[in-house]
Amino acid sequence: MKVRKVTAAASVLLALSLTATACGGDDKDDKGSGGGKKITIGIKFDQPGLGQKTPDGKYEGFDVDVATYVAKELGYKEGDIEWKEAKSADRETMLQRGDVDFIAATYSITPEREEKVDFAGPYLLAHQDILVRADDKSIKSPKDLNNKKLCSVAGSTSAQNVKKKLAPKADLQTYGGYSECLTGLQNKVIDALTTDDSILAGYAAQKEFEGKFKLAGFKMTNENYGIGVKKGSDLKKKINDALTKMVKDKAWDETVKKHFGPANYKNEPAPQIGDIVK
């Protein structure tokens, strides 16, 4: 860069100009008190073991660890990350508007979603499953859910999938959230809870529930979790490279054990990045 001397007056004008530019700029990579580079990542705030905002304002879970690893590979420190809540219904819109740089939030890759956004990954292969009480020996296959009270949350398609395809006589119970389903399961008001096995494992691994529930291991669907980016973004390849490295250096295995281990979650091996399991 060419450097030249300036007069005192010019220096003042230059300083004022730079200050005005800094105050007026809206570059998302330059926000924050330090003016340093930032990255904004969407996660779930209410899924223990995957993406959760704790009462003390911290963020933890498998998706959080994966996103943090990826961000570091992209050149960002942990303190450079701004976390945003990415509710299921808002994810495509958040990416399309540029509210976030990428989303790691139990985000299953589907043809419908791929029309709107791009996906890196998959970084986890999950399956729809059910959670039952640890001492329950009556449900050995999906058909055993007939005449059982099956819980899922409002707006979820998981319970409908079971009723339509596997257990048409299941008694569906719709609750406002998974925590309510867990309470009902614990109190024997319901017999089983259904959603992705990774989500179920995250809840079952909480200290207050440890040892009280078990996953049935039915693997009723394949859910390829991907990291969503804006359509056409060059981040897709960079994130895939980061995920490949995470699997290779065993950091992926360590974070799976850390967050799902207490639930005895028999997770699938780390997926081949770029290969979607149908």
Can you spell out the DSSP letters for 144-181?
A: GGTTSEEEEETT-SHHHHHHHHT-TT-EEEEESSHHHH
Token digits of residue 93: 């819109």
**Residue ranges covered by each domain of the chain:** 39-124+224-263, 128-215
Residue corresponding to tokens 């359509």: 231
**Bridge partners of 196?**
128
Mean pLDDT by 10 residues, the chain (278 residues): 39 40 41 62 94 96 98 97 94 97 96 96 96 95 96 80 91 87 94 94 87 92 96 97 97 92 82 91
Whole-model pTM: value is 0.80
Domains 39-124+224-263 and 128-215 share a fold: yes
* Spatial separation of the C-alpha atoms in residues 94 and 203, rounded to whole Å: 26
Under CATH, which architecture does the 128-215 domain have? 3-Layer(aba) Sandwich (3.40)
| 39-124+224-263: in CATH 3.40.190.10 | yes
Q: Which residues pair with 152 in a beta bridge?
A: 174
**Strands 46-47 vs 51-53: parallel, antiparallel or unpaired:** antiparallel
